[in-house]
Amino acid sequence: MFERFTRDKRARDETAIRLENISVRYRVPHERYATLKEHTIRLLQRRVQYDDFLALREVSMTMRRGEVVGIIGRNGAGKSTLLKVIGRVLRPTRGRVLIRGRVAPLLEFGAGFHPELTGRENIFLNGAILGFSRAQMQAKFDRIVDFAELRDFIDAPLRTYSSGMVARLGFAVATDIEPDVLIIDEVLSVGDAAFQLKSAERIQSFRATDATILLVSHNLASVEAMCDRAIWLERGQIVAEGAASSVVRQYRGDDTRAEAKRLAEITKPAPTQRWGTGRIEIVAVRLKNARGEAATIFETGEALILEMDYHAHDAVSSPIFGMAIHRQDGVQITGPNTAFAGLTLPTLEGKGTVTYTVPYLPLLEGLYQVSVAALNHNDTEMFDYHDRCYSFRVINSQNRIRERFGMLTLHGEWTYTHRPANSDVAFGN
Amino acid sequence: MRASNELVYDSARPRLAIWEDALELFRYRDLLWGLVQRDLTVRYKRSILGFLWTMLNPLLTMIVLTIVFSTLFRFEFQHFAVYLLSGLLLWNFFAQSTTQAIHNLLWAGSLVNKIYIPKPIFVVSALIVGLVNLMLALIPLALIMLISQHPFSPALFFLPIPIALVFMFALGVGLFVTTLAIFFVDVVDIYQVGLMILFYLSPIIYPLSILPERYLFFIRFNPMYYFLELFRQPIYDGTLPAAGLVGRAALLALSALLAGWWFFTKKADEFAYRV
């Protein structure tokens, strides 16, 4: 196999990474003893038991130089373990890893920085941590300092910098480190919006070079947009591999099916999520798609229909029915009701159904929760309230909506008027 | 033909761990130097006191102990200050650099989890920083020798040997306790207690002559005894240590280093999911 790693004039065809039947077994003590004292006691009692956990099983793959490969899969599928094996942080239990060139991860801002060192010293130390020699860093130094716009402060200790300055320096260092294989683990830095943006920028600027990029991400849209190829891992094994768009589509399909099943199972609210006087009871809540089928998965731009079956136990005059959509983190996105819409219901007694139709669902990909409510006409009595009991997921499998930022699309339209630079005449008119 | 500047990592290549690690340390010499520089800078560069402290600390300890021993306990001992300080310096090097090694690797934990870095580098850098401190601390020792009119013997030129041996020994111990510290949180505390016990068991602040005859036999089992003797004889007695003593110390140092290094490399691959 080693012959394949010889230098080739056609650099594009070179193999950058080759994994041959990689298995990684973690050996974890049955109970974890954090102290030596405890461990010794257990050891003397011969009571240390281990559990073996196979994080990767017989994984083989090849990456060519210059490729951008995304790794997707659920939590615990072995994605980060795979990155660690490639990044030389973990040695595989079995199998063989061959890597040509220098591997470096994209680090968080300022990882490895020391506050007492000057900006200059930190640049060199950070470079050295990533495996670059002093001479190599010397060549990059001016570019980094100029990019970070910190020339005047470069010999001051880092503790005197503002947090913005530290971030700029971290960014500049990370941007100028050009390994042959760049590893980006977005899963480890969830919630770090700056990191996500940075990784997107890095990938864009890297595509031009010959570097190989490995990206682990939960953001399927970005994997699809940025990667040439994708690998889908499940329980430590490769389930699918190939063109990013096709692997992502397969994964989404599988993910959606599994989730649809799970979400559909939740039909009754837990007692803690429900309150009200009960004069009107909401007995059933259904989400339906445009075709009138019960659904928990929706596409952005699709229709969403919410139906609530009610049971008014005694005559209630002009009650109000409402619903709310929350994002998973609790942010309320909308909260329409019949009163806002100017719909006055008559006095109700007995059973019926109230329907709320959304012709165009503007939400972008994500998991959302629905609350429903029935209350009296002047909002002084809550008859029944189901707090965030029903979930649905919005996906974007056909990529009809290309938007990726924020939580919704305004479904707006872009136009432009162009005024050529030297057309004073046009301005005059 | 593979271009020589092209790094190729092959996880299956048969490796002789110690040799491999030494090569990797050389490859990462800029990082090693960077870490040493960082620790020295943090300690010395921006504080004059930091520099003075390295010299003052053993001096103050020495003054206190000299007063305690020579006035309170009233035992007659010539140039006790020189005897005490020389032992104290060697001990401080050993205790401080091995402790620092633990802290270095724990600090590096989050990095080691993400990037490949030859891990012994954090222990070696702590040892080098300790060595620099030891060199600096030799200055106050020389001053004390001048003041107390202690003779400077040509045997002093032998000093690099005991320093090199104690460096090897401390490196071995450092690698060992660092590995334990990665796996168990209480090792830092246990090690401090262990160090304290060893300190009092070693002839540092007291001369061997105050020990009752029947205990003298046990001192042979204390590894620090050999290094202390090796280091002190040229300074205090002005004589070259006996070949037998040098041999025993060298054997101790070498076996500690090999054992520590072996233990470290054996467990190093597990670090990534323990730290």
Q: How confident is the model at residue A173 (pLDDT cuts 50, 70, 90)?
A: confident
Last residue of a domain, one of A256, A282, A310: A256
For residue range B163-176, what is the model confidence (pLDDT) as tens digits?
Answer: 999 999 999 999 99
3-state secondary structure of A224: helix
Closest approach of chain A CAs to the CA of B181, in angstroms? 9
User: Six-digit token pair at B260?
Assistant: 């520590």
Instruction: Specify whether A331 is located in the same domain as A213.
Output: no
Which DSSP string corresponds to chain B? ---TT--EEETTS---HHHHHHHHHHHTHHHHHHHHHHHHIIIIIT-HHHHHHHHHHHHHHHHHHHHIIIIIS----TTHHHHHHHHHHHHHHHHHHHHHHHHHHHHHHHHHTTS---THHHHHHHHHHHHHHHHHHHHHHHHHHHHTTPPPPGGGGGTHHHHHHHHHHHHHHHHHHHHHHHH-TTHHHHHHHHHHHHHHHSTTSS-GGGS-GGGGGGGGG-HHHHHHHHHHIIIII-SPPPHHHHHHHHHHHHHHHHHHHHHHHHHHTTGGGT-
Give the CA radius of gyration of chain B: 20
Chosen from B110, B115, B267 to mutate, greatest number of chain A CBs within 10 A: B115
- Contact residues on chain A for B129, CB-CB shorter than 8 A: none
Instruction: Specify whether A240 is located in the same domain as A294.
Output: no
Instruction: Specify whether A177 is located in the same domain as A321.
Output: no
Is B272 in Cβ contact with A90 (below 8 Å)?
yes
Structural domain harbouring A149: 67-256
The domain that holds A345 is classified in CATH as 2.70.50.60
- Contact residues on chain B for A115, CB-CB shorter than 8 A: none
Give the helix ranges, DSSP H, for A265-341.
Answer: none
Please name the amino acid found at residue B96.
Q
- Distance CA(B172)–CA(A282), nearest Å, equals 72
Q: Which of B9, B41, B113 sits opposite A121 (nearest CB)?
A: B41
For residue range B84-138, what is the model confidence (pLDDT) as tens digits?
Answer: 889 999 999 999 999 999 999 888 887 888 888 888 999 999 999 999 999 988 9
Chosen from B5, B26, B116 to mutate, greatest number of chain A CBs within 10 A: B116
Inter-CA distances, A35 with A44, B67, B99, B110, B178, Å: 14, 41, 18, 20, 14
For residue range A339-379, what is the model confidence (pLDDT) as tens digits?
Answer: 999 999 999 999 999 999 999 999 988 889 999 999 998 88
Whether this model's pTM surpasses 0.80: no
Is A105 in Cβ contact with B115 (below 8 Å)?
yes
B14 to chain A: closest CA residue = A96
For residue B71, the model assigns a pLDDT of 73
Tell whether the model's pLDDT for residue B79 goes beyond 50. yes
Per the model's pLDDT, the better-predicted residue between A63 and B18 turns out to be A63
Rounded to an integer, what is the distance from CA A295 to the centroid of its chain?
24
**Is A371 inside a domain boundary?**
yes
Rounded to an integer, what is the distance from CA A292 to the centroid of its chain?
31
Predicted complex ipTM: 0.79
B8 to chain A: closest CA residue = A100
Does B47 touch chain A if contact means CB atoms closer than 8 Å?
Answer: no
User: Six-digit token pair at A122?
Assistant: 């930190």
For residue A32, the model assigns a pLDDT of 61
Structural domain count of chain A: 2
**Is A35 inside a domain boundary?**
no
- Distance CA(B101)–CA(B171), nearest Å, equals 9
Instruction: Specify whether A132 is located in the same domain as A247.
Output: yes
Per the model's pLDDT, the better-predicted residue between A307 and A65 turns out to be A307
- Distance CA(A294)–CA(A292), nearest Å, equals 7
For residue A255, the model assigns a pLDDT of 74
Per the model's pLDDT, the better-predicted residue between B25 and A329 turns out to be B25
Phi, psi torsion values for B29, nearest 5 degrees: -60, -30
For residue B125, the model assigns a pLDDT of 95
Instruction: Specify whether A219 is located in the same domain as A340.
Output: no
pLDDT, mean over chain A: 83
CA dihedral B177, B183, B189, B193 (to 10 degrees): -40
A137 to chain B: closest CA residue = B30
Can you say whether residue B36 is alpha, beta or left, with left for phi > 0 and alpha for psi between -120 and 50 degrees? Answer: alpha
Strands A332-334 and A237-243: unpaired
**Window 8-27 of B, Cβ < 8 Å to A:** 8-12
Strands A382-395 and A212-216: unpaired
- Contact residues on chain B for A111, CB-CB shorter than 8 A: 110-111, 114
- Contact residues on chain A for B33, CB-CB shorter than 8 A: 128, 134
Contacts of A263 (CB under 8 A, 6+ apart): A296, A297, A391, A392, A393
For residue range B137-154, what is the model confidence (pLDDT) as tens digits?
Answer: 898 889 888 888 888 888
Instruction: Specify whether A212 is located in the same domain as A336.
Output: no
Average pLDDT over residues B21-41: 88
The domain that holds A190 is classified in CATH as 3.40.50.300
What residues does each domain of chain B span?
A: 17-273
Tell whether the model's pLDDT for residue A139 goes beyond 80. yes
Q: Are B119 and B105 in contact (CB under 8 A)?
A: yes
Instruction: Specify whether A73 is located in the same domain as A134.
Output: yes
Average pLDDT over residues B4-24: 71
**Is A360 inside a domain boundary?**
yes
Please tell me what DSSP assigns to residue A93. S
Q: Which of B30, B183, B184 sits opposite A128 (nearest CB)?
A: B30
For residue B51, the model assigns a pLDDT of 72
- Distance CA(A54)–CA(B214), nearest Å, equals 57
B108 to chain A: closest CA residue = A112
Q: At what angle do helices B48-67 and B120-147 cross, to 10 degrees?
A: 60
Q: How confident is the model at residue A4 (pLDDT cuts 50, 70, 90)?
A: very low
Q: Across-strand partners of A357?
A: A305
How many residues does the structure list for chain A? 429
For residue range A74-127, what is the model confidence (pLDDT) as tens digits?
Answer: 888 888 889 889 988 888 888 999 988 888 887 766 677 888 888 999 999 988
Average pLDDT over residues A290-313: 91
For residue A2, the model assigns a pLDDT of 42
Q: Are A99 and A181 in contact (CB under 8 A)?
A: yes
Tell whether the model's pLDDT for residue A199 goes beyond 80. no
Instruction: Specify whether A245 is located in the same domain as A341.
Output: no
Helix (H) / strand (E) containing A323:
strand A320-327
User: Six-digit token pair at A141?
Assistant: 């130094």
- Distance CA(B145)–CA(B141), nearest Å, equals 6
Tell whether the model's pLDDT for residue A314 goes beyond 50. yes
- Contact residues on chain B for A102, CB-CB shorter than 8 A: 7
Instruction: Specify whether A241 is located in the same domain as A354.
Output: no
For residue B214, the model assigns a pLDDT of 81
Average pLDDT over residues B51-58: 76
Is B187 in Cβ contact with A84 (below 8 Å)?
no
Tell whether the model's pLDDT for residue A424 goes beyond 70. no
For residue range A276-285, what is the model confidence (pLDDT) as tens digits?
Answer: 999 999 999 9
A34 to chain B: closest CA residue = B184
Per the model's pLDDT, the better-predicted residue between A70 and B112 turns out to be A70
For residue range B197-213, what is the model confidence (pLDDT) as tens digits?
Answer: 999 999 988 888 777 88
